[in-house]
Amino acid sequence: METSPRRRHAPVGVMAGVGLYALDNNVQRLSEDHHKARRFADTLRRVPGVRVIPEGDVTNIVLLDLSGTGVEAHALADDLMALGIRLSVEGTFVNGGAKTGHGAA
């Protein structure tokens, strides 16, 4: 039995609705998020061994390469979560606001 086109595209409609809601209700917050991410990145650039990606301007997503620090990304994410700072850990990078693994955050 084949799924109807309406059912196949339902997730796209849901995501579009979420995006429209965000544009209508959270534009002010996006500016705040960018400012916080810039401060976060600027602070971490001063930590020996931490590489902030991208190296220039950041949006509200900050990736960190911790391979030069000896710090394990999951441990860092756990410690910062206790302070109310949420990081995602996946692979070899940490994302402040999303990717990392052993030796990277």
Task: Read off the pLDDT of residues 39-98 as tens digits, 9 standing for 90 and up.
Answer: 888 998 999 999 888 777 767 778 888 888 888 888 888 998 899 888 888 765 555 543
Please state which CATH number belongs to domain 5-96.
Answer: 3.90.1150.10
Q: What is the pLDDT of residue 28?
A: 78
Q: What is the pLDDT of residue 103?
A: 39
Tokens representing 50 are: 């931490």
85: how many CB neighbours lie within 10 A of its CB?
A: 14
Supply the DSSP symbol for 58. -
DSSP-H helix ranges across the chain: 5-8, 10-25, 27-44, 73-81
Q: How far is it, in rounded angstroms, from Cα 38 to Cα 16?
A: 27
| pLDDT, tens only, 1-23 | 555 555 555 667 777 787 788 78
DSSP-H helix ranges across 26-99: 27-44, 73-81
Q: How far is it, in rounded angstroms, from Cα 105 to Cα 50?
A: 9
Please answer whether residues 53 and 93 qualify as being in contact, where contact means their C-beta atoms are separated by less than 8 angstroms: yes
Three-state DSSP state, 62: strand
